[in-house]
Chain A
Amino acid sequence: MSESMKVLLIDDEDDFRELLGKRLVKRGLVVSTAASGQAGLDQAEGGDYDVVVLDVKMPGMDGLEVLRRLRKMVPDTEVILLTGHANMEVAVEGMDLGAFDYLMKPVAINELLYKIQDATARRRLRLGRPA
């Protein structure tokens, strides 16, 4: 990939957010994090992120609401949902709202990485940038 993939990680669980961030950085990604939906939205605006990795279950604004706003605000940015449990309804609703895909926690790092790569590739293809 010519340019590093730029990822925004939104999750209220600090330890998880930091660990996952570090692991993705370790794999060559540019990672920003946000601890809440609102903070994530603020950061996403104008951030030109390839992918937002979004936890569905968060206090305050929940993941689906964040997704809804992200789609309006930065429709190009792909969103991968992380669902806490085997709740297909949430996943299906998320897909309907335009999420790229969903993964269930705890998530295998490689699986997440592949999804991020796919999402980035799709976005860059759409925007005409080199993937």
Chain B
Amino acid sequence: MDIRQYASLRAKLVLTVLSFSLIPLFALGFFIYDQFSATYTRQVEDNLRMVVDNKRHGIDIFIEERVAQLRTLAATHTLAQIRDEQYLARVFDTMQASSRAFVDIGVIDSKGGHVAYVGPFAQLHEVNYSQTEWFNAVMRGGAYVSDVFLGFRNFPHVIIAVARREAGATWILRATIDSEIFNTLVRSVQAGRSGDAFLVNPAGLLQTPSRSGGGVMVMADMPAPERFSGVRVDGMRIGGRPVIAGRTWLENANWLLVVSVDPDEALSPLFTTHSFVIGIVVAGALVILTGAYLVARHITRTLMAAEQDKAALDASLMQSGKMAALGKLAAGIAHEVNNPLTLIRESAGWLKDLLAEEDKAKIGNYDEILGAADKIEQHVDRAKKVTHRMLGFARRMEPVRENVDLSRLADQTSQFLENEALYRNIAIKKYFAEDLPVVVSDTSQIQQVVLNILNNAIDAVGKDGTITLSTTLDEKAGRVTLAIADTGPGIPPEHLGKIFDPFFTTKGVGEGTGLGLSIAYGIVEKLGGQLAVQSEVGKGTTFTIALPVGEGHVV
């Protein structure tokens, strides 16, 4: 898997965790808010309904009482009695003693003439009401409650009138109520800073002042009142603002009682809850997001590490398998070559033995033949060294625990590559510290590491350069170090951190596996040492193998 796949895996993990955690969280938040909202709104509405109903009841009773007072008065008196203004004044005073609801009182005969009047507006004596609407209405219906109007006295008031049939003729007892009484009655339910309460007639004219604009007898800024029974609570616009309004028609007057509350005010606990729920959900979402991210990161990192370990293990297994096979092959070849070499050497020796018995003078090419035999022996010895080295290499495939002299090992190992270096005109310089303490380790494994680094160094230099091997003792750290420095192009800083990663290679496909240095690193670590690199672009690269003196780890 490459980095992109890990990123996509991490994204999937995060998304999965998020969807499984956030969906219930959001659902819960929404549900809680929704339930609370419904409950609270219902409570506000119920409350409003109750207030409206109570107030309607109060106003109705007030009106009913006034009508009943007039009815009683009319029923208990004849026109003749009641038209006596002094008497009427006494009766009116008595009525006012219990309740100062009325402004004045008058008696009107069937012709509309004002036959008696008690009250502050003396000029009303002369008025004939026969053409007024309420006169006609009361003549028809027997009792009448007017809308608020200015009338002859030019002052907002309400008329209550009852008719009395007496001996074939009808007379009317009419009283006036200052509309301010209704204002007071209604105003008491104006709730909060912007709660409103008012009365309107069927035409939409305000009967009491409205807070949201509009004095008495002004068109109310609200939907035209329609007829319905009972109490209605619903949202509407009054005075240009959305409100929750409770409405009900009065029973004893043709008026609609409207009590409205500002939803912002009435539902403010709801909005607080709303913000609170959103806050909790957002905080919860953030916590979940962080958690999901951390978990996903941890999982992908663990996975990445596991896969890298596996890759390194695979690589090292592959490498050791390859080395074992190579070792067997080398041993086989060395052994097969060794036998003929032995014979060649013996034959040359026999040649020399025989030649020694001959008369030097009789054989013209005596010296040449002897020289040739010497050369054969000499080159067989050279070949023998090669086979011995191969055998030594093969034998060391098995892990062992032995005393290793790092200088000698570096020297021997570099011999493998001396020819290669020679062809490329690369000088191999050696500066070995004397009396280096031994490290207990596995020669072949260290050899493999050194070989690997040397190979890389030769590849890095290419042609014409120097590779310097030097061993030192770091007494303080108790370590023996072997530094292999080349005069190659150096490793760019962005690659330097990755060169020990498995499969990292700058060589083309098929040229390098990207495993060499990672295996080398693994080996040195396992042996209890350290493999470090230092590089400067344009100057070269130095690998340093540090191994602990004395007891080391042997795998």
User: Chain A residues in contact with chain B, CB under 8 A?
Assistant: 13, 15-16, 19-20, 22-23, 26, 84-87, 104-107, 109
Q: Give A55 to B182 CA distance when docked, in angstroms.
A: 138
Among the stretches B105-113, B284-292, B337-345, B442-450, the one at the interface with A is B337-345
What is the distance, in angstroms, from B399's C-beta to the closest C-beta of chain A? 15
Residues of B within 8 A of A13 (CB): 339, 342-343
Contacts A106-B380, A106-B384 given; does A84 touch B346 at CB 8 Å: no
Contacts A19-B350, A23-B353, A85-B335 given; does A106 touch B391 at CB 8 Å: no
Q: Give A87 to B388 CA distance when docked, in angstroms.
A: 10
- The reply to whether A86 and B350 form a contact with Cβ atoms under 8 Å apart is no
Check if B452 is an interface residue, CB within 8 A of chain A.
no
Nearest A residue (CB) for B334 = A85
- The reply to whether A109 and B349 form a contact with Cβ atoms under 8 Å apart is yes
- The reply to whether A84 and B343 form a contact with Cβ atoms under 8 Å apart is no
Chain B at the A interface: mostly helix, strand, loop or mixed? helix
Check if B136 is an interface residue, CB within 8 A of chain A.
no
Nearest B residue (CB) for A109 = B349
What is the distance, in angstroms, from A102's C-beta to the closest C-beta of chain B? 14
Contact of A20 among B341, B346, B392 (CB under 8 A): B346
Contact of B341 among A19, A26, A106, A109 (CB under 8 A): A106
- The reply to whether A106 and B335 form a contact with Cβ atoms under 8 Å apart is no
Q: Which of B241-266 contact A (CB under 8 A)?
A: none
Contacts A16-B343, A106-B380 given; does A85 touch B391 at CB 8 Å: yes
Q: Give A105 to B387 CA distance when docked, in angstroms.
A: 11
Most chain-B CB neighbours within 10 Å: which of A22, A85, A87, A104?
Answer: A85
Nearest A residue (CB) for B392 = A86
Nearest A residue (CB) for B381 = A106
Nearest A residue (CB) for B349 = A109
Contacts A85-B391, A86-B388, A106-B380 given; does A23 touch B346 at CB 8 Å: yes
- The reply to whether B342 and A16 form a contact with Cβ atoms under 8 Å apart is yes
Check if B47 is an interface residue, CB within 8 A of chain A.
no
- The reply to whether A106 and B338 form a contact with Cβ atoms under 8 Å apart is yes
Contact of A26 among B338, B339, B353, B380 (CB under 8 A): B353
Contact of A84 among B335, B347, B353 (CB under 8 A): B335
Most chain-A CB neighbours within 10 Å: which of B341, B346, B380?
Answer: B346
Residues of B within 8 A of A15 (CB): 343, 346
What are 22 pairs between A and B in contact, CB < 8 Å? A13-B342, A13-B343, A15-B346, A16-B343, A16-B346, A19-B343, A19-B347, A23-B346, A23-B350, A23-B353, A26-B353, A84-B335, A85-B335, A85-B338, A104-B388, A105-B339, A106-B338, A106-B341, A106-B380, A106-B384, A107-B342, A109-B353
- The reply to whether B345 and A106 form a contact with Cβ atoms under 8 Å apart is yes
- The reply to whether A23 and B349 form a contact with Cβ atoms under 8 Å apart is yes
Contacts A16-B346, A19-B346, A19-B347 given; does A84 touch B339 at CB 8 Å: yes
Nearest A residue (CB) for B331 = A85
Q: Give A109 to B348 CA distance when docked, in angstroms.
A: 11
* Further 9 A-B residue pairs, CB within 8 A, beyond A23-B350, A85-B334: A13-B339, A15-B346, A16-B342, A19-B346, A22-B353, A85-B388, A87-B395, A106-B342, A106-B384
Q: Which 10 residue pairs across A and B have the least CB separation, nearest first?
A: A106-B342, A106-B345, A19-B346, A105-B342, A85-B391, A26-B353, A86-B388, A109-B349, A86-B391, A19-B350
Q: Which of B317-364 contact A (CB under 8 A)?
A: 331, 334-335, 338-339, 341-347, 349-350, 353
- The reply to whether A86 and B349 form a contact with Cβ atoms under 8 Å apart is no
What is the distance, in angstroms, from A24's C-beta to the closest C-beta of chain B? 10
Residues of A within 8 A of B339 (CB): 13, 16, 84, 105
- The reply to whether B395 and A105 form a contact with Cβ atoms under 8 Å apart is no
Q: Give A84 to B331 CA distance when docked, in angstroms.
A: 11
Most chain-B CB neighbours within 10 Å: which of A16, A20, A22, A86?
Answer: A86
Q: Give A117 to B380 CA distance when docked, in angstroms.
A: 25
Q: Give A1 to B411 CA distance when docked, in angstroms.
A: 44
Residues of B within 8 A of A107 (CB): 342
What is the distance, in angstroms, from A114's C-beta to the closest C-beta of chain B? 15
Interface digits, B516-553 against A, CB 8 Å rule (1 contact, 0 not)? 00000000000000000000000000000000000000
- The reply to whether A105 and B347 form a contact with Cβ atoms under 8 Å apart is no
Q: Give A22 to B351 CA distance when docked, in angstroms.
A: 11
Residues of B within 8 A of A86 (CB): 388, 391-392, 395
Most chain-A CB neighbours within 10 Å: which of B339, B391, B392?
Answer: B339
Q: Give A20 to B338 CA distance when docked, in angstroms.
A: 16
Q: Give A105 to B395 CA distance when docked, in angstroms.
A: 17
Residues of A within 8 A of B334 (CB): 85
Residues of B within 8 A of A26 (CB): 353
Q: Give A20 to B348 CA distance when docked, in angstroms.
A: 11
What is the distance, in angstroms, from B69's C-beta to the closest C-beta of chain A? 137
Residues of A within 8 A of B349 (CB): 19, 23, 109
